[in-house]
């Protein structure tokens, strides 16, 4: 029964959840002739006012991207606009490779309010304005200002010379701020007076830690890539690393790795959490949404090869900053009318899921019949007698000869006789075992383990089976020109097929070839 329910849920998941994200999206380039976009910020509720940062200038649109004008030119090869954000009232901040710039009149005029002592301190990666305090993250430490940027104090400590990757407040925890750097993630509960580490520079699968030691000055070499906080719940934050994404639900005290189903590349570089707590992530070439314990790729039709950052507006439109410009899309949950036909089309060359599950159970030797056979054999054990046999050998037989003559040999003498050999066979039954057999206790424990193992195999095979169908649907939706993504999808399809063959001893591919013929 459990297997049937799981299969039904998986089919519904493929038909109603996967299809909208594959086929109901389109991307629009709204930056016009402006390319090489690094960051963007949407200030108005309707998404009309948009700021975007290119390699060395800030541009602004007040008509949802129909037209743009330049509002700040930093200039030089190190003048990239790393982040744009808004303060109170009409304040706008631009964190650049040449310091921190601020505008008090919505971008009309700018002035530099921070300049570092060297090019690393001068490279401002991120800025946060929280409760009247400005937190500035550079490539060589974090600086704090209590007077709107007129004076700055460098925060000394364990991460004073590391590259700051992101700074995020926890809006549900008073005075709580998280800082992600190349040396780890740190938390303060007193607005920056004291900090303690909640995530080390590098962790393995068992959550043991080891500091990153190579090229700490450049965040591109860091194990930690980005961090995002869910503003709807206290203590929930996400961390992107070079091996995947981790989630904490207790303000960084413990971390769990997020499942990787649906991913082609797990080397994420940017994270953002929507107003309804959906997690979006970007790799170098793809954009994904995490929903229902799996990842959905959203970047079909987006032929970017260098995605830098993501943004969301109040209308839940998603923005992508990349080398080709600023792209925008809006996703709608639409179920296709021919979804059942699509499912049949993409699954017709594969064996039925029930047959694949049976093959996996048989190959793994976890059939339920095995337990029934054990129980029958244990019950029949009482009908079989216990057979015992013994052999006795008597070597102490002595003969005494006496004939009354004194001239005959061996007269009046003791002589050893022949060995006496005896044997016996006994048969016994313990009829109490017909009512209760002590072996049943061992069978019960083994049965529990076998059921758990069988359930794990069924769950994994079912997930892989329907994941394979979804990848085929995604592959079919790709344009022929998108060779890189097609190659990745084809490689993923072969990987899933190989995994199913591994679980079934090659049955899946054999069954697929049979269906094709």
SS (H, E, C) 366-418: CCHHHHHHHHHHHHHHHHCCEEEEEEEEECCCEEEECCCCCCCCCCCEEEECC
**SS3 (DSSP) at 157:** coil
- Which of 412 and 67 is assigned the larger pLDDT? 67
Question: Closest Cα to residue 23, out of 485, 344, 336?
Answer: 336
Least confident window among 184-198, 228-242, 407-421, 477-491: 407-421
Q: Would you state the pLDDT for residue 436? A: 64
Work out the angle between the directed axes of helices 439-477 and 368-380 (0-180°, nearest 10). 170
Task: Kindly give, in sequence order, each residue whose CB lies less than 8 Å from that of residue 439, ignoring residues fewer than 6 positions away.
Answer: 378, 381
Q: Would you state the pLDDT for residue 227? A: 95
pLDDT in tens, 131-188: 889 999 999 999 999 998 999 999 877 777 889 999 999 999 888 999 999 888 999 9
Q: Would you state the pLDDT for residue 357? A: 86
- Average pLDDT (31-40) is 93
Task: Count CA atoms within 13 Å of residue 476 on its CB side.
Answer: 14
Cα-based distances in Å from 354 to 12, 17, 339, 503: 16, 22, 21, 14
273 is written with which tokens? Answer: 């959490």
Task: Count CA atoms within 13 Å of residue 18 on its CB side.
Answer: 26
Q: Would you state the pLDDT for residue 382? A: 65
pLDDT band for position 20 (50/70/90)? very low
Q: Are 470 and 441 in contact (CB under 8 A)?
A: no
pTM of the shown model? 0.66
Cα-based distances in Å from 439 to 13, 81, 384, 403, 429: 43, 73, 15, 67, 16
**DSSP character for 66?**
S
Model confidence at 12: pLDDT above 60: no
| Most confident residue range from 277-281, 407-411, 464-468 | 277-281
pLDDT band for position 513 (50/70/90)? low
How many angstroms separate the CA atoms of 77 and 339, rounded? 51
pLDDT band for position 489 (50/70/90)? confident
**SS3 (DSSP) at 269:** coil
Question: How many CB atoms lie under 10 A from the CB of residue 17?
Answer: 16
pLDDT in tens, 59-103: 999 999 999 999 999 987 788 899 999 887 789 999 999 999 999
How many angstroms separate the CA atoms of 452 and 175, rounded? 45
Q: Would you state the pLDDT for residue 217? A: 40
- Which of 158 and 291 is assigned the larger pLDDT? 291
Cα-based distances in Å from 371 to 11, 337, 379, 434, 437: 30, 45, 12, 18, 15
- Average pLDDT (375-395) is 70
Least confident window among 215-219, 236-240, 341-345, 446-450: 215-219
Model confidence at 24: pLDDT above 90: no
Question: Closest Cα to residue 381, out of 442, 291, 456, 340?
Answer: 442
For the chain, what is the mean pLDDT? 79
Cα-based distances in Å from 417 to 296, 396, 399, 403, 461: 95, 8, 6, 18, 77
**DSSP character for 515?**
H
Q: What is the DSSP string of 291-357?
A: ETTEEEE--TT---S-EEEEEE-TT--EEEEETTEEEEE-------TTHHHHHHHHHTTS--HHHHH
Least confident window among 11-15, 77-81, 167-171, 297-301: 11-15
Stated as kind and residue range, the H or E segment containing 251 is: none
- Average pLDDT (193-207) is 68
């Amino acid at each position: 029964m459990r297997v049937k329910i799981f299969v039904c849920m998986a089919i519904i998941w493929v038909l109603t959840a996967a299809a909208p994200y594959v086929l109901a999206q389109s991307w629009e380039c709204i930056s016009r002739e402006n390319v090489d976009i690094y960051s963007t910020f949407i200030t108005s509720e309707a998404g009309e006012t948009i700021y975007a940062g290119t390699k060395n200038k800030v541009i602004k649109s007040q008509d949802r991207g129909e037209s743009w004008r330049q509002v700040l030119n930093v200039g030089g090869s190190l003048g990239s606009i790393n982040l744009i954000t808004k303060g109170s009232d009409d304040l706008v901040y631009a964190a650049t490779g040449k310091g921190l710039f601020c505008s008090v009149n919505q971008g009309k005029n700018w002035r530099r309010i921070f300049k570092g002592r060297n090019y690393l301190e001068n490279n401002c990666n991120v800025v946060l304005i929280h409760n009247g305090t400005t937190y500035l993250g550079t490539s060589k430490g974090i600086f704090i200002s209590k007077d709107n940027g007129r004076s700055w104090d460098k925060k000394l400590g364990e991460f004073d010379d590391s590259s700051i990757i992101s700074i995020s407040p926890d809006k549900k925890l008073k005075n709580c701020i998280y800082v992600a750097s190349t040396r780890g993630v740190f938390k303060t509960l007193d607005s920056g007076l004291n900090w303690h580490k909640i995530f080390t520079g590098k962790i393995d699968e068992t959550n043991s830690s080891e500091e990153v030691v190579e090229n700490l000055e450049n965040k591109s070499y860091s194990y930690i890539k980005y961090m995002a906080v869910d503003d709807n719940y206290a203590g929930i934050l996400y961390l992107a690393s070079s091996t995947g994404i981790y989630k904490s639900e207790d303000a960084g005290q413990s971390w769990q790795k997020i499942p990787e189903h649906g991913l082609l590349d797990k080397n994420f570089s940017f994270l953002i959490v929507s107003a309804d707590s959906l997690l979006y992530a970007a790799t170098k070439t793809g954009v994904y949404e995490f929903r229902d314990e799996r990842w959905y790729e959203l970047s079909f039709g987006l032929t970017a090869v260098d995605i830098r950052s993501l943004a969301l507006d109040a209308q839940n439109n998603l923005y992508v900053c990349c080398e080709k410009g600023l792209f925008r899309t809006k996703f709608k949950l639409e179920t296709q009318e021919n979804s059942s036909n699509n499912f049949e089309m993409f699954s017709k060359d594969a064996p039925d899921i029930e047959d694949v599950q049976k093959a996996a159970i048989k190959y793994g030797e976890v059939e339920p019949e095995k337990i029934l056979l054990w129980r029958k054999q244990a019950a029949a054990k009482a009908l079989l007698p216990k057979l015992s046999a013994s052999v006795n050998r008597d070597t102490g037989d002595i003969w005494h000869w006496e004939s009354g003559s004194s001239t005959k040999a061996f007269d009046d003498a003791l002589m050893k006789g022949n060995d006496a050999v005896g044997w016996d066979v006994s048969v016994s039954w313990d009829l109490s075992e017909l009512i209760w057999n002590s072996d049943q206790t061992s069978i019960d424990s083994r049965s529990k383990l076998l059921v758990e193992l069988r359930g794990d195999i069924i769950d994994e095979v079912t997930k892989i089976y329907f994941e394979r169908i979804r990848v085929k649907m995604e592959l079919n939706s790709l344009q022929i020109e998108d060779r890189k993504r097609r190659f990745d999808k084809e490689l993923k399809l072969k990987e899933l097929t190989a995994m199913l063959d591994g679980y079934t001893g090659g049955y899946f591919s054999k069954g697929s070839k049979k269906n094709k013929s």
